[in-house]
A and B are shown apart, each in its own frame.
Chain A
Amino acid sequence: DGGITQSPKYLFRKEGQNVTLSCEQNLNHDAMYWYRQDPGQGLRLIYYSQIVNDFQKGDIAEGYSVSREKKESFPLTVTSAQKNPTAFYLCASSMLGQGASPLHFGNGTRLTVT
């Protein structure tokens, strides 16, 4: 079955450490996205990529970095510069072209930094 796989499901890190969240899709989608979800808030876009080796900042990119070396993969690194990294992180993908494609989401990674 095609889908988006995020790993790990839960991640615990000490403050000051960088951590990388994995996102892989086998839907052959061009575009991939990283969202952050906090309790009581809607999803906020961190980064997105429409093509391999290219990506754009979203609304809350500070303290995060991404890469898109392969179409299937879009890992997110939460750096020590991110002031409030504890959150639920969601990866998504879609086809491009006239906005007709619904967004497909992975099951998320819950990151806790202490």
Chain B
Amino acid sequence: KQEVTQIPAALSVPEGENLVLNCSFTDSAIYNLQWFRQDPGKGLTSLLLIQSSQREQTSGRLNASLDKSSGRSTLYIAASQPGDSATYLCAVLNPGNTGKLIFGQGTTLQVKP
């Protein structure tokens, strides 16, 4: 059974710092991996989607990498800003489970001015 883990559960950094959020999964036979952002009391916003055949995806200051063989993905945030403060969740899609994502518990990020 696929399990997704995100460590740490919470992270606090000063503004301007580059940071890395981690996501690990137990079954490497994934179809894709998605990173989401969730603001308090809100729904999730899709940030990046990496197909199993890809190594990384970039959007602005965000870069997500995928290493299927080791069951790991990282979300790199460059030059962090207070507006980046939110909970970041990763989720994997296994083959055959169309749309049925398996989520990690999230990392809550606080960027201090």
Q: Is A64's CB within 8 Å of the partner chain B?
A: no
> Quick one: CB contact mask for A72-114 with B, threshold 8 Å, 1 for yes?
0000000000000000001010101011101111111010000
Q: Is A2's CB within 8 Å of the partner chain B?
A: no
Given contacts A50-B98, A99-B98, A102-B34, contact A42 B89 (CB under 8 A): yes
Find chain A residues with CB under 8 A from B44 CB: 43, 90, 92, 103, 105
Find chain A residues with CB under 8 A from B98 CB: 31, 50, 96, 99
Chain B residues with CB under 8 Å of chain A are: 4, 31-32, 34, 36, 41-46, 49, 51, 89, 91, 93, 95, 98-101, 103-106
- 3 closest residue pairs by CB, A with B: A105-B43, A102-B46, A42-B103
Find chain A residues with CB under 8 A from B103 CB: 42-44
Complex CA–CA separation, A100 to B50 (angstroms): 9
Majority SS at the chain B contact face: strand
**Which of chain B's residues has its CB closest to A45's CB?**
B100
Complex CA–CA separation, A22 to B95 (angstroms): 30
Number of A interface residues at 8 Å Cβ cutoff, please give it: 28
Q: Is the CB of B51 within 8 A of A100?
A: yes
Q: Is the CB of B99 within 8 A of A99?
A: yes
CB distance from B34 to the nearest CB of A (A): 6
CB distance from B89 to the nearest CB of A (A): 7
